[in-house]
Amino acid sequence: MGDKSPSTECPYCQQAMTVSRMTCHTCGIAVEAAFPTARLANLPTEHQRFIEIFVLASGSLKEMAEKTGVSYPTVRSRLDKVIAALRNEIGKDQQAKGSILDAVNEGKLSVEAAAKLIKGI
């Protein structure tokens, strides 16, 4: 695709990077924080591209195979890899929410602070 957005993968270890700084290009004000990212943005770039093609092909693996010139089993295998990666991302969110709730139960975190953290996930 013609997308020129930067990769969300670390060029050194290939793990997901997070957004930590936003800057206004008009006035130059910058804010640094641990900004939440969408689950799809945390997937490797190749998986994101696959999802784009999948959607543009109306979810037809047969059409994807024809347009990309690869076999149907190869497209199906790639879809299975994307599904596994997305399930892994969803699992990370669930683990984070569980850890936050555990901290509330143990009295280490207030309900209000936990709500803010969970909204950011």
Q: What is the pLDDT along the chain (121 residues), one digit of tens a residue?
A: 445 556 667 888 877 777 778 899 999 898 887 666 677 888 888 999 999 999 999 999 999 999 899 999 999 999 999 999 988 887 776 666 667 777 777 887 777 777 776 676 5
Domain 37-119 has CATH 1.10.10.10: yes
pTM of the model: 0.55
**What values do phi and psi take at 116, rounded to 5?**
-65, -40
- Residue-range domain boundaries for the chain: 37-119
Joined together, the tokens standing for residue 62 give: 């047969």
Q: What was the pLDDT predicted at 94?
A: 66
**Degrees (nearest 5) of the Cα angle 1, 89, 87?**
95
Q: What was the pLDDT predicted at 114?
A: 72
